[in-house]
Structure 1
Amino acid sequence: MSTAIVFGANGISGIAILKELSHRLASEWRKIIALSRRAPVLEHQDDRIVFKSVDLLGDEKELATALKEAGAEEATHVFFYAYIAKEDEDELIEINRKLFDNALTAIQTWCPKIKVFQLQTGYKYYGTHLGGDKLSAYPWQEDAPRHSGGNFYFVQEDILKTRARKNGWKWIVTRPNFIIGTSKGNYMSLAVTIALYATARKALGQPLFFPGSTVTYNLEYYDHSTASNNAAFQVFAATNEQAYDRAFNIADGDKVTWNVFWPKIAAYFDVPLAKPAADEPTRPLRPHGEIYAAHSVSAWAKATGPQFPEIARKLGLDPNVFDYATWDFMDFALTRTWPDIGSLEAARSIGWSRSINSFGDGYRVVFGELKEEGVIPK
């Protein structure tokens, strides 16, 4: 029987792994220790889950106390999802380095039975947030050369490998792309912002424009990584010796192109699709190295912002619901001139054969959860 520790247990990925572990038999996972700075956002029905609220950047004694009270001395597996967003790259690297280092130090001090430490990073490893000459060769493979410049994923993965060698742990790194899921109080998901955008456009009687140009609309596919599918793979890998001391891309296995996906969004929300859905660029765009917003959602949100509380009121929603949206990220994700294509060969090589439908199994499920939570109208 194994005992899991989950760092970042209130986030989208943390919630997904708790649900996945709860679906497993007690004879496999006898205890699940959930750690997060905030109090639990879900009422967990599984009595194997022990939740502790603790700040990884706070007093190390508080973290030690939380681990001891939760029975972490019996822990065998760690799943790490904790993350703090920063705009400045140097600040992003430093604060997440410290966050991760504090967790590792506590684990090696108070959890002597750890066998496997699993870290989730992502496709930024391949330079997808930078484009141009920073992009790895397609399809992105786990052993791709690192791009020049800083990247906090590089830092975390290097720290993990060093600590694992020192402590006799096995390490696993998983790299998803657009993570599709929800968590109350943490709506950093492209699916959530798209849902809010479509909801507001419909309420205002406006058609659904695709933010980018026809270049992006018709571009080769974008990998999506539904949180529940990621979690299923991560539990599969955690107990699979073939996965140890390796990194893995994890995506749905569905080839998402926006020219197919975007009309499905419009149909789901019953909002007219703009004609044409995406505009021609006004000039030739540099392939794989440019961002071009034909209909910037962040600019639209800024202009429309004063109307948001009234829209929410008419729809019976939280007056601040549109604050959940990450408009800038949606702009970035849907206006780039390069795709996100990772190889799943490594995951397949250890026996992972699952593929899911990113819209039906991902977006549609998220939209349903958002309705139940009152984020979008039923």
Structure 2
Amino acid sequence: MAQANHNSPVALIVGVTGMAGVALTEALKKPTALGGPWKVYGVSRRLLPTWFPSSLLDKHITLDTLNMENTCKLLTPLATHITHVFWLAITVNESEELNISCNSKMLSNVLNTLTSAPNSTLCHVSLQTGTKHYMGPIYDSTLASQVIPHEAPFREDYPRLPFPNFYYDLEDIVASYPKSFTYSIHRSSIIIGASSRSIFNGLLTLSVYALVCKHGNYPFRFYGNKYTWEHFWDATDATVLAEQHIWASATEKAKNQAFNCTNGDVFTWKMLWRVLCDVFDVEFVPFEDKEIFNVAEFMKDKGQVWDRFVEENGLYKTKMEEITTFGAANATLKVDFQHVCSMNKSREFGFHGYADTLKSIAPWVERLRQMKILP
């Protein structure tokens, strides 16, 4: 196994502009970061947005990792420097089979390039997945109705569900290099953080919805079902997730293990809705079980409202469709099971990061405002 120069670890963050990427970049550059001081290289498909803390990156690489030729060309010269890969990248497609094909190719392209280079210094890969590991392909329209998720709280030692799931394939890929590097798996819940470039950004989706409701004097209705309104869920603060990635990369006991990563508390959507109402100054609307409310339908003609917000407030240029996921949100909040992970394994292995979910909402919204993503 390649032995890295631990005096100067070099992190390659693939997916650096997402919520977890922003938080991980900032966490690695703290003087107190475990295993540091770190050099940080960031990979994203597009150029860095103006809101990204680019001064914290030692190098930025614009790269679509689906392209094997470009991946090899740009990463081979760095293979004698990079000691740690933090895999936060994701591409989402309509079918889970396509998800498996694309995400597996991206990860394999990067790992094959780095490990096949002479004098490769790669010693650890930190892979981020999520709770779909325990729920199955819930966004695949042909499979979602067949899936029976595991019982909550979700535990890392639960067997895999008998359905295709690209998370399973990514885990198998990193485990297939036993002589090249160690790895860790990080299964996050709903991530709360700040970015306009994350595919699933629940907080930004909720924020845009609240702002549109306030602007148009619409009721800020909950778009899930009664079960979700009243039962327990958990979430993952992007800062806690970053801390766990770094902890596992620098802790021998955590190598070649999978860990859930949540804030360590639970909430009901009723509780969270009250917090959102306070943050955005909209009236709290109690849940009404009269009809199923389809937020995707409600929001589909509101793009021009968002365009005006962006223009009038001098915001970072985004389209509402790019930064929200109302279709996925609509589906996710209509499940009939509690979405809660066990954090016992993390605690037993020595990770004690946590956050108060309800208290974390306002600071992250404020961060989105400072970044000029929200008005």
TM-score range, shorter chain: 0.7 to 0.9
Tell me if the contact between 1:215 and 1:281 (Cα under 8 Å) persists in the aligned partners: no
The 10-residue stretch of structure 1 (364-373 or 75-84) with the greater mean CA deviation from structure 2: 364-373
CA distance in 2, matches of 1:308, 1:32: 34
CA distance in 2, matches of 1:68, 1:25: 30
SS at match of 1:198: helix
| Equivalent residue number for residue 59 of structure 2 | 50
Task: Compute the displacement of 1:235 (Å).
Answer: 0.3
Residues of 2 paired with 1:364 and 1:237: CA distance? Answer: 29
**Shift in Å at residue 29 of structure 1?**
3.0
- Structure 1: state its 5+ residue gaps: 283-293
Q: How far is the alpha carbon of 1:330 from its aligned partner?
A: 1.8
Mapped partners of 1:370, 1:315: distance in 2:
13
Q: Which residue of 2 aligns with 1:286?
A: none
Structure 2: where are the runs of 5+ without partners? 1-6, 139-143
In the alignment, residue 44 of structure 1 is paired with which amino acid?
S
**1:343–1:80 CA distance, 2 compared to 1 (3 A):** same
Out of 51, 59, 72, the residue aligned to residue 64 of structure 1 is 72
Percent identity for Structure 1 against Structure 2 = 25
Relative to structure 1, the CA distance from residue 18 to residue 72 in structure 2 (aligned partners, 3 Å threshold; closer, same or farther) is farther
Tell me which residue corresponds to 1:107.
114
CA RMSD of aligned residues (A): 2.3
String of CA shifts for 1:164-192, please: whole Å, max 9, x gaps: x142x111111001011122444631000
In the TM superposition, what is the alpha-carbon distance from 1:30 to its structure 2 partner?
3.9
Give the one of 77, 83, 86 matched to 2:90.
83
- 1:87-146 Cα distance to aligned partner (Å, 9 max, x none): 111111111111111111012123622221111111111016347753113211111111
Give, in angstroms, the shift of residue 303 of structure 1.
Answer: 4.7
Give SS of 2:279's match: helix
TM-score by length of structure 2 reads 0.88
Partners in 2 of 1:201 and 1:316 — Cα distance?
A: 20
Task: Work out whether residues 214 and 281 of structure 1, in 8 Å CA contact, stay in contact via their aligned partners in 2.
Answer: no
Residue number in structure 2 paired with 1:370: 368
Matched, 1:159 2:169: no
The question of whether the paired residues in 1 share the 8 Å contact of 2:212 and 2:305 is answered with no
Q: Per the alignment, do residues 177 and 359 of structure 1 end up closer, same or farther by CA in structure 2, a change over 3 Å counting?
A: same
Give the residue type in structure 1 aligned to 2:150. S
* Cα distance in structure 1, aligned partners of 2:146 and 2:350: 34
Amino acid at match of 1:159: I
CA distance in 1, matches of 2:96, 2:251: 34
Paired residues for 1:109-148 under 5 Å: 109-110=116-117, 112-127=120-135, 129=138, 130=144, 134-148=148-162
How many residue pairs get matched?
A: 357
Aligned-pair CA distance for 1:335: 2.2
Q: Distance in 2 between matches of 1:142 and 1:320?
A: 37
| Matching residue's letter, 1:263 | R
Residues 314, 89 of structure 1: alpha-carbon distance in 2 compared, 3 angstrom cutoff: same
Q: TM (normalized to structure 1)? A: 0.87
Among residues 20, 23, 32, which one is paired with 1:16 in the alignment? 23
Q: Alpha-carbon deviation of 1:44? A: 2.2
Match of 1:93, SS state, is helix
Equivalent residue number for residue 325 of structure 1: 324
Q: Does 1:247 align with 2:258?
A: yes
Other-structure match for 1:289: none
1:263 aligns to what? 274
Tell me the residue number matched to 1:29: 37
User: Shift of the alpha carbon at 1:320?
Assistant: 5.4
Moved more, 118-127 or 305-314: 305-314
Are residues 1:227 and 2:238 paired?
Answer: yes
Contact 2:184 2:258 (C-alpha < 8 Å) held by counterparts: yes
How much does 1:24 deviate? 3.5
In structure 2, relative to structure 1, the CA distance for the partners of 1:334 and 1:76 (3 Å cut) is same
Q: Is the contact between residue 213 and residue 279 of structure 1 (CA under 8 Å) also seen in structure 2?
A: no
